[in-house]
Structure 1
Amino acid sequence: MARKRVSSGTEWESAVGYSRAVRVGDRVEVAGTTATGDDGEVVGRGDAAEQTKVAIGNVETALVEAGSGLEDVVRTRLFVTDVDDWEAVGRAHGEAFGEVRPATTLVEVSALVDPAMLVEVEAVAVVDD
């Protein structure tokens, strides 16, 4: 089965050995994605809801490049550095996905790769051919 890799273009993908997303058949797996702008800087510093919106936008960009979209997402995982942000993060997630309503997990982690990052989002999509 053919494998399509989607790159975000960062230097870290080849150095660490990962892809932003990988599509195999009708399934697209999107790696942990943060609120990072095109310039590599964290967007929405100090605002977990804004970071969630930006991260999901970055997930959507990868999905589209893989021939998918948010409407195909069946699973998300949200990693937050402060579980007290769960409601703001959850609302931003709900606004992005609406009635798609993927199976979702939200967990608190001790840190993300950059201290300014408050949220990281993973997604799995199944494309209905």
Structure 2
Amino acid sequence: MGVTHISTGSPFEAQIGYSRAVVADGWVFVAGTTGYDYATMTMPDDIVAQTENALATISRALIEAGSRLDHVVRVNYIVPDATEWPACWPVTSKAFAVAKPAATMISAGLQNAEMKIEIEVTARVAP
């Protein structure tokens, strides 16, 4: 079984040297994804809107990989300001209502100050 690389066209992918997602051996590994709207390369100010954008980008990458949010088994959230994290819960609980993945939230700095959340997932390819 080969390896498939998926790109969203983000300039960061080319500049830093990574794929949005990699499919290997029935698994989909999605890179840490922030809240940019890649169509306009804009970043909302609000962490909830950033969470929605990140999950939409992740969802598109998973679909291209032959998976979907319902097949996520692991999710990592990175949030610089932990006090903002609870505002994201309605969005994340809806996105992962079926999958109920193992999850971790880490509070740490991100690449750019405008980034309020980064989300990384691991999923199975859909059966």
Q: Is the pair's TM-score, using the shorter chain for normalization, greater than 0.5?
A: yes
**Which residue does 1:96 correspond to in 2?**
95
Mark the runs of 5 or more structure 2 residues left unpaired by the alignment: none
Aligned residue pairs: how many? Answer: 126
Find runs of 4+ consecutive structure 1 residues off by over 2 angstroms. Answer: none
With normalisation by structure 2, the TM-score equals: 0.92
**Which residue does 2:6 correspond to in 1?**
6
With normalisation by structure 1, the TM-score equals: 0.90
What SS class does the counterpart of residue 98 from structure 1 fall into?
Answer: coil
**Which residue does 1:15 correspond to in 2?**
15
The structure 2 residue matched to 1:112, chosen from 104, 110, 123, is 110
Looking at structure 1, the residues matched to 121 and 62 of structure 2 have their Cα atoms a distance apart, in angstroms, of 9
| Deviation string, structure 1 residues 2-53 (Cα, Å, up to 9, x no partner) | 01100011233233221000001210000000111112211x31x2122111
The structure 1 residue matched to 2:120, chosen from 108, 122, 125, is 122
Which shifted more, 11-20 or 93-102?
11-20
Root-mean-square deviation over aligned CA pairs: 1.3
Mark the runs of 5 or more structure 1 residues left unpaired by the alignment: none
C-alpha contact 2:47 2:117 (8 A) present in aligned 1:
yes
Identity %: 36
What is the letter of the counterpart of residue 102 of structure 1? Answer: P
What is the letter of the counterpart of residue 65 of structure 1? Answer: E
